[in-house]
Amino acid sequence: MGREEGCRAEVSAAPPVLVSPSARHAEALRQRAIRLEYFTVGWNILEAVVALLAGGATSSIALVGFGLDSIIETMSGVTLLWRFRQRRGEEARAESRAVKVVAATFFALASYVGFEAASDLWLRHAPHFSLPGLFLAALSLLIMPFLGVAKRRLAVQLKSPALAADGMETLLCAYLSGTLLLGLGANGLFGWWWADPVAGLVIAGFMVREGLETWRGEACGDRCNRPDYGSS
């Protein structure tokens, strides 16, 4: 009995595990990134459903492309959630994989949207006006810039090129929203059938550029391209 009491005394006397302020700060940043990605995934699922249904009903390649972009952003968000839930010691490898996945999503989307937009221009395929599409693009134009900027700033603090690229994809969604508004609005108001596929080509061009920068590790510049970028 004496030995048991002695062991208990030793255990109770063991010093508590101290967490450094820097470690607590890093964990708080990581949790903030996770919350941003959960919001991204939820919003983009809703956005994809509305855009694809409206785009299919009106034969709008720009609107369909916008919906596909939302699916791609959902995949990117899920990838970032996986990256930020990795254990310490595995984060650098997870970061590298996440960067490549996000870059691949840019290229996949650019290929589809570019092909369909070029086909519509060649065949003179005119989309129909979509009020839900316009409303969706306007709402996205209000939300996405704040979300994208928050991700980009957080990426620098976490030294995460993958999060920076995902943030750029979110900002690109805002650019696409503006382009979509111009394309659908011009077609609905003035009958400029070519405005929609031209908007699709602009979207594809943005995607290719951002995909290349992401693949090269230029998503957040020199601030993230440091040997310890994957540490937290």
Is 12 part of any domain?
no
Read off the CATH number of the domain in which 158 is found: 1.20.1510.10
Is 54 part of any domain?
yes
Is 194 part of any domain?
yes
Is 1 part of any domain?
no
Q: Residue 20: pLDDT band by 50, 70, 90 thresholds?
A: low
| Runs of H (alpha helix) within the chain | 2-13, 21-58, 61-84, 91-123, 131-158, 161-190, 195-215
Residue 154's domain spans which residues?
A: 26-223
Is 198 in contact with 167 (CB distance < 8 Å)?
Answer: no
Is 39 part of any domain?
yes
- pLDDT over 90 at 39, yes or no: yes
Helices (H) and strands (E) in the chain, counts: 7, 0
Q: Which tokens in the block code for residue 132?
A: 């839900």
Task: Give the pLDDT confidence of 175-229 residue by residue, as tens digits.
Answer: 878 877 877 777 777 878 888 788 878 878 888 888 888 787 665 655 555 444 3
Average pLDDT over residues 156-176: 85
pLDDT of residue 231: 40
Mean per-residue pLDDT of the chain: 79
Total tally of structural domains belonging to the chain: 1
Task: Give the pLDDT confidence of 82-101 residue by residue, as tens digits.
Answer: 888 877 667 777 788 888 88
